[in-house]
């Protein structure tokens, strides 16, 4: 069984390793819009399922692999970053002992975080953290604690799942915590549907940011205290980058 990262959306960002795995699969398993990124062909069955069904989906994939099918479990971006990788290993640990004998490979992909960072410059060019802002699977108090500690550590930050339809208030609270911890002038970046025709990039300050700037297809990044905004070639556009160096005099400033 292969757990395959499809990259952020553009075909040119799918690794040859992942493309080969998809071309050899008999069954592709995943969230509906990701399964639909794999073109139909004779001999391939596509099993699309709903967003919140990760564990059931992982079990289905393991069952089919145990029955001798060549299964590709697909995730957008990289399968190890808030995607199907962890779900498959959770199902493996809790499931049939025979599943442990399966040949499982995880094929990495370009994550949304790295693709968004590339389009904006190099905002994650120094130490950073990556936090899933959805409180479906963890208490809000933990998210808030991590945001405060990440700000204290002066990490650049990348946020997945900033804003769900069912819990729109979470991201507004996250912005309040960040404004308090990082100040109003800190750059915040909204990168929606990166590398697709619907791509939209926006750089503002925390003081200017509003919850509506993000939806569930948006990767949000916040700079460290050293992150810089510089004008780019095109009129009105800019680059954002975090320098590689921190001087002693800049610590605890």
| HSE, side-chain direction, 13 A CA sphere, residue 171 | 25
Distance in Å, CB of 158 to a copy of itself, minimum: 10
Closer to a copy of itself by CB, 54 or 59: give it: 54
Closer to a copy of itself by CB, 20 or 26: give it: 20
Closer to a copy of itself by CB, 178 or 212: give it: 178
Q: What is the DSSP string of 61-111?
A: HHHHHHTT--EEEEESB-TTSSSHHHHHHHHHHHS-GGGGGS--EEE----
Distance in Å, CB of 213 to a copy of itself, minimum: 22
Q: Which pair of structure tokens corresponds to residue 246?
A: 């921190």
Instruction: Output the CA angle 238-240-244, nearest 5 degrees.
Output: 145
Closer to a copy of itself by CB, 100 or 200: give it: 100
Distance in Å, CB of 147 to a copy of itself, minimum: 9
From CA 189, how far away is CA 164, in angstroms rounded?
18
Closer to a copy of itself by CB, 25 or 207: give it: 25
Distance in Å, CB of 229 to a copy of itself, minimum: 10
Q: Find out whether 10 and 107 touch, Cβ atoms under 8 Å.
A: no
From CA 46, how far away is CA 25, in angstroms rounded?
10
Distance in Å, CB of 94 to a copy of itself, minimum: 10
Q: Which pair of structure tokens corresponds to residue 104?
A: 């499982």
């Amino acid at each position: 069984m292969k757990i395959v990262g499809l990259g952020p959306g553009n075909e040119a960002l799918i690794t040859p390793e992942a493309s080969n795995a998809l071309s050899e699969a008999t069954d592709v398993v995943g969230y509906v819009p990701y399964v639909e990124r794999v073109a139909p062909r004779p001999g391939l069955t596509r099993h699309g399922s709903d967003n919140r069904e990760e564990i059931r989906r992982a079990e289905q994939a393991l069952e089919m692999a145990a029955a001798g099918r060549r299964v590709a479990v697909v995730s957008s971006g990289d399968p190890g970053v808030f995607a199907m990788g962890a779900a498959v290993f959770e199902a493996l640990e809790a499931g049939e002992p025979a599943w442990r004998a399966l040949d499982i490979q995880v094929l990495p992909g370009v994550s949304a975080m790295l693709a968004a960072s590339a389009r904006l410059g190099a905002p994650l060019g120094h130490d950073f953290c990556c936090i899933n802002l959805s409180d479906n699977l963890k208490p809000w108090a933990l998210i808030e604690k991590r945001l405060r500690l990440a700000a204290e550590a002066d990490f650049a930050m990348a946020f997945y799942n900033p804003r769900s339809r069912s819990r729109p208030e979470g991201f507004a609270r996250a912005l309040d915590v960040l404004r308090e911890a990082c100040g109003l002038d800190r750059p915040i970046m909204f990168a929606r549907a990166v590398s697709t025709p619907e791509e939209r990039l926006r750089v503002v300050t925390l003081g200017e940011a509003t919850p509506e700037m993000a939806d569930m297809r948006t990767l949000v990044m916040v700079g460290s205290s050293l992150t810089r905004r510089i004008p780019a070639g095109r009129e009105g556009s800019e680059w954002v980058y975090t320098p590689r160096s921190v001087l002693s005099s800049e610590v605890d400033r």
